[in-house]
Amino acid sequence: MFQVTEKASEKIQEFFKDKEEQPIIRIFLAQGG
Q: What is the 3-state secondary structure (H, E, C) of 1-33?
A: CCCCCHHHHHHHHHHHHHHCCHHHHHHHHHCCC
HSE-up of 1 (CA within 13 Å, CB side)?
9
Return the pLDDT at 21.
58
Domain housing 3: 1-33
Return the pLDDT at 2.
64
How does pLDDT run across 4-33, given as a tens digit for each residue?
788 888 888 887 777 665 666 676 777 665
Total domain count, the chain: 1
13 sits in the region (left: phi over 0; alpha: psi -120 to 50; else beta) called alpha
pTM for this predicted structure:
0.38
